[in-house]
């Protein structure tokens, strides 16, 4: 099993450009999440999904959109990138059972200039 | 809503010394608690978790944590630090059917 994979690993964008980050999991997990990690801020939840075709806002959703068209994939989109979105983005997945942990991908380092 | 406070953004210990990383939580319902470790330029890896069974939880790499309801704490310990333990550690809480909420992390340095 590959677990949780993220594409791409690194990306540099100019202000105003758009991009999509792809997360894929092969563990048949129902729930998927997008977090951003900034120095001294820990991980903050952007959006999450409890199943195919459903999404919900997290703590810091502004400037991002998501889609979950297939159970195994969760896409994070930036329509008009801003320097404040420079961060490391982590995708995670989990089962619906609350006692179970979230599994994380390796991260995508995004720089917006 | 639940929250996590990690005391100390940076902890430095000597090799062979006790490691103690502090975590306090807030939750209106019985929580599930987790410790994750992040090595440089990598994702997060689960160290251990508390799911309302034993209050003393043992994890990987010799780490353990004790759930203390009266103190709303879930501190992470290891009797003897190793150089390979240098990493960032995150405490997280889950209350009910909600995503994990993370603390801001504690960076552990191990001095030879």
Is there a contact between B43 and A101 if contact means CB atoms under 8 Å apart?
Answer: no
Chain B's closest residue to A37, CA to CA, is B104
A96 CB near a chain B CB, below 8 Å?
yes
Secondary structure E strands in B8-54: 10-14, 19-26, 32-38, 44-50
Q: Is B60 helix (H, G, I), strand (E, B) or coil?
A: helix
| Chain A residue numbers touching B51 (CB-CB < 8 A) | 99
- The residues facing A87 across adjacent strands are A110
pLDDT of residue A96: 78
Q: For the stretch A13-41, what's the b/e string if a residue is b when 16 or more beta carbons lie within 10 angstroms of its beta carbon?
A: beeeeebebebbbeeebebbbbbbbeeee
pLDDT of residue A98: 67
The mean pLDDT value for B10-33 works out to 94
Of A96, A99, A107, the CB nearest to B32: A99
Q: What are phi and psi of A79, to 5 degrees?
A: -80, -40
Q: What is the DSSP letter of A27?
A: S
| Chain A residue numbers touching B50 (CB-CB < 8 A) | none
Of B52, B97, B102, the CB nearest to A42: B102
Tell which residue, B10, B45, B69, has the closest CA to residue A101: B45
Residue B42 has pLDDT above 70, yes or no: yes
Q: Per residue in B56-109, pLDDT tens?
A: 999 999 999 999 999 999 999 999 999 999 999 999 999 877 888 999 999 999
pLDDT of residue B41: 87
Rg (CA), chain A: 13
Is there a contact between B51 and A106 if contact means CB atoms under 8 Å apart?
Answer: no
- On whether the CB atoms of residues B57 and B47 are closer than 8 A, the answer is no
Chain B's closest residue to A46, CA to CA, is B99
Residues in Cβ contact with B41 at an 8 Å cutoff, skipping those fewer than 6 apart: A107
Q: What is the pLDDT along chain A (113 residues), one digit of tens a residue?
A: 789 999 999 999 999 999 999 999 999 999 999 999 998 889 999 999 999 999 999 999 999 999 999 999 999 999 999 999 999 999 999 987 767 789 999 999 999 99
């Amino acid at each position: 099993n590959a677990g949780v994979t993220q594409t791409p690993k690194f990306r540099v964008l100019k202000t105003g450009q758009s991009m999509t980050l792809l997360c894929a999991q092969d563990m048949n997990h129902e729930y998927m999440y997008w977090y951003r990690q900034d120095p001294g801020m820990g991980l903050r939840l952007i959006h999450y999904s409890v199943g195919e075709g459903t999404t919900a806002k997290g703590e810091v959703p502004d400037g991002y959109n998501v889609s979950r068209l297939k159970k195994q994939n969760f896409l994070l989109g930036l329509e008009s990138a801003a320097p404040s979105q420079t961060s490391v983005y982590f995708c995670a997945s989990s089962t619906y059972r609350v006692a179970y942990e979230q599994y994380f991908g390796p991260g995508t380092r995004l720089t917006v200039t | 809503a639940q929250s996590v406070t990690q005391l100390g953004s940076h902890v430095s210990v000597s090799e062979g010394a006790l490691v103690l990383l502090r975590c306090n939580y807030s939750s209106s319902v019985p929580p599930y608690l987790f410790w994750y470790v992040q090595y440089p330029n990598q994702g997060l890896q689960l160290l251990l978790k508390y799911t309302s069974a034993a209050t003393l939880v043992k994890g990987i790499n010799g780490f353990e944590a004790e759930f203390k309801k009266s103190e709303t704490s879930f501190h992470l310990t290891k009797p003897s630090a190793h150089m390979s333990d240098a990493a960032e550690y995150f405490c997280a809480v889950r209350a009910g059917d909600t995503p994990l909420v993370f603390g801001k992390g504690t960076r552990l340095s191990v001095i030879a």
